[in-house]
Amino acid sequence: MFTKFQKSLQTGVVTSHYPKEKDYAPFRFRGRIEIDNERCKQCNVCVEVCPTNAYTWIEDKDKRYLQLDHAKCVFCGMCEEACSYRAIRITNDFELAATHKDGLLVKAGLDKTASVEELGMKLKEKIFSVFRRSLHVREVDAGSCNGCEWEVVALYNSPIHDLQRFGIDMVASPRHADCLLVTGPPTRNLETALIKTYHSTPEPRMVVALGACACSGGIFQDCYATKNGIDNVVPVDVYIPGCPPRPQAIIYGFLLALERIDK
């Protein structure tokens, strides 16, 4: 008995202070991608090396712009390595979550402000303000690789991130939940289960898409066994990209959903 107390007392408090204190991801961490339109020579190399087709060209007023979709990105870093003009820079910013899929796009050279205003429309009804102080979450694996699951476990079971300090709790059944945290592309074999789970959750309910697979199908997109993102099956309120997103990024996503962060 004594050794147990001793061990815990010796260890002390280990919980992180994110987001009160800013968390800096390590130097090699691959987060938000920035495109420098001045430097981009439109050589198409990034489009070719990307394993998930996250880069596309968009036409606007007879000009061609590079567009990156963070929802599809698996943060492999190949684009930055391949770009010989240094137009692509991978930062260590992990706070990528957005309430609308357009918020995950990086449009090189295009004025961003216009689209941001459109983007505000999703949560304007404030129906989720009832969850502001307390949110009960059911995690649903719709075919992920287990990476996102372990990050949620790290959030919930590890004393370092301790999700409960935000009043967010994981519950055992969708019937107890306000929010479904869904991972996976989703797969064909789980589609029915996901729909049933969604309908078992009492309203108002919120759906959070966690990880590249849930946001867009990720690397498993366009396959006979998967759908391209869970928003093809159930409506999604918040997207948290990353492969997998680090625990702090998931916390950021939750707080964004609960309107505790102004963006």
Partner 1 sequence: MSINRQPYLDNIMNRFKGNVVVAKGSLENEIYISTNKENLDDVCTYIHKTFQSPLSSIICNDERSLNKNFTIYYVFSLPDKDLFFIVFIPVSEQQPDFPSITPHIPAAHWYEREIKDMFGLEPVGHPDPHTLVLHGNMPANTYPLRKDFATNTRLPHIESKLPFARVDGEGVFEIPVGPIHAGIIEPGHFRFSAVGDTILYLDAKLFFTHKGTEKLFEAMPYTKALFLAERICGVCAASHATGYCQAIEKVAGIEIPPRAKFIRTIILELERLYNHIGDVGNVCIGASFLMCGSHGFRMREHIQQLNETICGNRYLRGMITIGGVRFDIHDDLKKHILDLLDRVKTDFKELVEIMFTSSSFLDRIETTGRLSLEHAKGLGVVGVPARASGICRDTRRNHPYAAYSEIDFDIPVYHDEGDVYARVKVRVDEVYQSMSIIEQCFNKMPEGSIKTSLKEFPPYKQALSYVESPRGEDIYWIMTAPNNMLYRYKVRSPSFCNWPSIPYTIPGNIVPDFPLINKSFELCYSCTDL
Give least dist CB 65 to partner 1, A: 24
- With 0-12 / 13-18 / 19 or more C-beta atoms within 10 angstroms meaning exposed / middle / buried, residue 169 is middle
Candidate list 37, 91, 129, 157; residue touching partner 1; CB under 8 A: 157
Among 19, 25, 42, 232, binds partner 1 (CB under 8 A): 25
Alpha helices by DSSP H, listed for the chain, are 2-11, 45-49, 78-82, 113-119, 147-157, 191-200, 211-216, 247-257
Nearer CB in complex with partner 1: 42/200: 200
Nearer to partner 1, 103 or 174 (CB): 174
- Residue 120 binds to partner 1 (criterion: CB under 8 A): no
To partner 1, the closest distance from the beta carbon of 28 in angstroms equals: 4
What character string, x for contact with partner 1 (CB under 8 A) and - otherwise, covers 74-93? xxxxx---------------
195 binds partner 1 (CB under 8 A): no
- Residue of 143, 229, 241, 253 that binds partner 1 (CB under 8 A): 143
| C-alpha–C-alpha distance, residues 22 and 219, integer Å | 31
Q: Taking CB under 8 A as the rule, does residue 73 contact partner 1? A: no
Q: Is the peptide bond before 186 cis (omega within 30 degrees of 0)?
A: yes
Provide the phi-psi class of 243: left if phi over 0, else alpha when psi is between -120 and 50, else beta.
Answer: beta
Strands 63-69 and 105-107: antiparallel
188 contacts partner 1 (rule: CB under 8 A): yes
Q: What single string gives the DSSP state of each residue in 43-82?
A: --HHHHH-TT--EEEEEETTEEEEEEETTT-----HHHHH
The enclosing H or E element of 141 equals: strand 135-141
Place of tokens 């990209």: 241
Residues shown for the chain: 263
Selected from 32, 70, 100, 161, the binder of partner 1 by CB under 8 A is 161
Near partner 1 in 205-234, by CB under 8 A? 218-220, 222-226
- 7 is a contact residue toward partner 1 (CB under 8 A): yes
- The residue (of 56 and 115) whose beta carbon lies closer to partner 1 is 56
Asked if 172 is part of the footprint of partner 1 (rule: CB under 8 A), the reply reads yes
Q: Which residue has the tokens 């949560």?
A: 123
- Summarize as ranges the residues that interact with partner 1 (CB under 8 A): 3-4, 7-8, 11, 14, 25-30, 49, 51-52, 74-78, 138-154, 156-161, 170, 172-174, 184-185, 187-193, 197, 218-220, 222-226, 243-244, 246
